[in-house]
Structure 1
Amino acid sequence: MAGHTSLQMANAMEGVREQVVQQKQRLDNLVDEFSGLLEGLLKKKLYKLLSIVVNKVPGIVKSVLADPEMPMRLQKAQDAAIDAVWPDVQQEIMWELAVTMDGKVTQDLPEVRGCICCAFLRYHLYPFDRGFWGRFRDPVWILFTLIGLLPVYGISPGIFCVIFLVIDKTDEFQLVSFILEFKGFQYLTQGVIRSLMGYFMYLNCITAPGQAEDNCATNGPGSVAPTALVLVGYVLQIVLVWIAFVLLPFSSKKGRSALTGHLDQSPDSANMRGGYILYLLGYDLLTFIVCSGTLIYVLQLREWLLDDWMVKHAFFAVQMVHGYLSLPFFFFTIPLLRNILTHTAPTGYDRSGRCRRYDGVTRPPKPAAERGTSLPRVLEKAEASRILENLKRLLAGLHVRDLDTDPGPEAREASSP
């Protein structure tokens, strides 16, 4: 009889223990759910408040730049320029705020790896964990950059053809970066460097010999390199850029950070791939038509002889003018302007050749005393538990001084009936 009673008591105690564990688990789940809901509410309220503050920036900028002595038309043009640029600036600011407040820490990366050569070139040319000075110490990056600056024999387009074959053509930033870098190099190589070369080559073939007759027909600008080879390089640089333009609508933003879901912010819904760079598509087509039309006209005058010295000189000048006309693309390569005007998220490659979000320079870990200076969570679990407990007491008719204050046992006894 005593053994039966002991067994019943043990079963009862076990049942009570299970009930306590279940209630504790239920309370923990309730606290977690309440914490998530309250954190989302606080983030939305804070984000809305920051949005109101950010919207006041254009008016402040206009007030700072206002000058009573400025002509009225110039003042209106200045204000119109601020109004035109501000939506793109605002979008980038609000997205960065959303990522700071609600961004996911980790990034999902595919397990598929490319070939060893592609992975090697990808990481050394566009690493995800190095800045400019880190790449400047890389011999591979220096070699490709210096060779890409050579404006002779179609070498520069050949280098960029290799780069185009290597990069991930499914990522928006890689395509946009390729277009801007290629056209930016075209401005430097075909425009600036080629004009300097042309000047000194003319000086060499006219002034340096000190003779009545010059030898520019054989030693002048564009006369040394085979015209057919240079023409292939010229056409190749046009074709590569246009292929990248065509692939842009089918690309994705692999470098864009994801949100945890508390904020309903999407920077991609109203934007075309590439942003304002697509407006340069027609400009690039127009410059190509003008330059190629000029070359065709000269060829027609010289009976379509590619190796004619006048054709070579004209082709040299056409390439130089086309290079200078690529100047608008050069401005897009400035990092801050590039982010605002193209709305792209920077990406790079790891040592396996995978395209991923650009993390920048790897910095040493902070000391333990400085680790707490980063942005904390909006609501910790302990805070959510205290708020939930105070809400229960408030609904029970008890006095609560502050939702985030721990009532303590004395306050509970004092407020209990």
Structure 2
Amino acid sequence: MLEAWKEEKRRLIMEFIQTKMEGIFDHGMNVAAETLKEKIKDPYMPQFVKDFCDDAVDAIWPDVKMELKDEILKGFSKEQVIHHGEPACCGSCGPLAFWRYSLLPYDRGFWRQLRNPIWWLFTLASCIPKWGVMQIVYILQFIMIDKSDEFQLFQFIVMFKSLQFFTIGIVGSVLGSVQYYI
């Protein structure tokens, strides 16, 4: 009984502290928003550019405020278990899971990917425009990804389009310019 009473008091005190901190945080963030609006304006800016800067800060500030509040108040809430969902069918297939995770990991950043030799193999192979190597690599990648996973689909589309822009757009423009002037 005493333990339950202590736990209830602890919970009430934590709620009180969290409420007070939210109020202080909201006031501080509002002051920071106004300060930011003033600091990004140059006295020589035209008025419409100053208004645009104010509108941009007003548009993104609620998201910034929410993210910061979540991070600051995270210590006051109990740790939540992240549920990654049920594995997809064939998700437990060893080689397929290995390739998926090597090419499109959900929890690795760019710099960690640079240390993965399988990622380098596919990335360099996808840059070879001759003999249909690039197309074969992307067809294999499309076959291997889990179509129900939005992250993998989005990453595949972005990688494919960025490589298309680089190989067809930039390289094609440079080659065309060089051939024209030679």
Q: 2:113·2:119 contact (CA, 8 Å) conserved in 1? A: yes
Q: 1:151·1:193 contact (CA, 8 Å) conserved in 2? A: no
The answer for the alignment partner of 1:126 in structure 2 is 104
Give the 3 Å change call, closer, same or farther, for CA 54–190 of structure 1 in structure 2: farther
Q: 1:149·1:188 contact (CA, 8 Å) conserved in 2? A: no
Q: Do structure 1's residue 149 and structure 2's residue 149 form an aligned pair?
A: no
Deviations 1:8-29 (A, max 9, x none): xxxxxxxxxxxxxxxxxx1112
Q: How far apart in 1 are the matches of 2:71 and 2:140?
A: 34
The answer for the alignment partner of 2:60 in structure 1 is 85
Aligned residue runs from structure 1 range 243-258, under 5 A: none
Aligned residue runs from structure 1 range 90-239, under 5 A: 90-99=65-74, 101-102=76-77, 104=79, 106-109=81-84, 112=87, 113-127=91-105, 130-152=108-130, 155-200=133-178, 202=179, 207=182
Q: 1:148·1:160 contact (CA, 8 Å) conserved in 2? A: yes
Q: Which structure would you say has the larger RCO, counting Cα contacts within 8 Å and 6 or more residues apart? A: 1
The answer for the alignment partner of 2:32 in structure 1 is 57
Deviations 1:25-70 (A, max 9, x none): x111221233223323322332343233223332111111223332
Q: 1:147·1:159 contact (CA, 8 Å) conserved in 2? A: yes
Aligned residue runs from structure 1 range 236-275, under 5 A: none
Q: Secondary structure at the match of 1:104?
A: coil
- Greater Rg by CA: 1
1:67 maps to a residue whose letter is: D
Q: 1:151·1:190 contact (CA, 8 Å) conserved in 2? A: no
Give the 3 Å change call, closer, same or farther, for CA 196–100 of structure 1 in structure 2: farther
Counterpart pick for 2:15 among 25, 40, 44: 40
Identity of aligned residues (%): 34
Q: 2:125·2:134 contact (CA, 8 Å) conserved in 1? A: yes
Q: How far apart in 2 are the matches of 1:28 and 1:141?
A: 54
Aligned residues: 179
- TM-score normalised by structure 2 residue count: 0.74
Give the 3 Å change call, closer, same or farther, for CA 73–109 of structure 1 in structure 2: closer
Q: Secondary structure at the match of 1:56?
A: helix
Give the 3 Å change call, closer, same or farther, for CA 161–76 of structure 1 in structure 2: same
Give the 3 Å change call, closer, same or farther, for CA 116–75 of structure 1 in structure 2: same
Give the 3 Å change call, closer, same or farther, for CA 171–57 of structure 1 in structure 2: farther
1:56 maps to a residue whose letter is: V
Structure 2, unpaired ranges of 5+: none
Deviations 1:156-179 (A, max 9, x none): 454334333333444444343333
- TM-score normalised by structure 1 residue count: 0.37
Deviations 1:69-115 (A, max 9, x none): 32222222222233233344334333434545436254345574421
Q: 2:100·2:145 contact (CA, 8 Å) conserved in 1? A: yes
Give the 3 Å change call, closer, same or farther, for CA 129–109 of structure 1 in structure 2: closer
RMSD: 3.1
Q: Structure 1 or 2: larger helix share? A: 2
Give the 3 Å change call, closer, same or farther, for CA 108–159 of structure 1 in structure 2: same
Give the 3 Å change call, closer, same or farther, for CA 101–73 of structure 1 in structure 2: same
Give the 3 Å change call, closer, same or farther, for CA 149–75 of structure 1 in structure 2: same
2:158 maps to a residue whose letter is: L
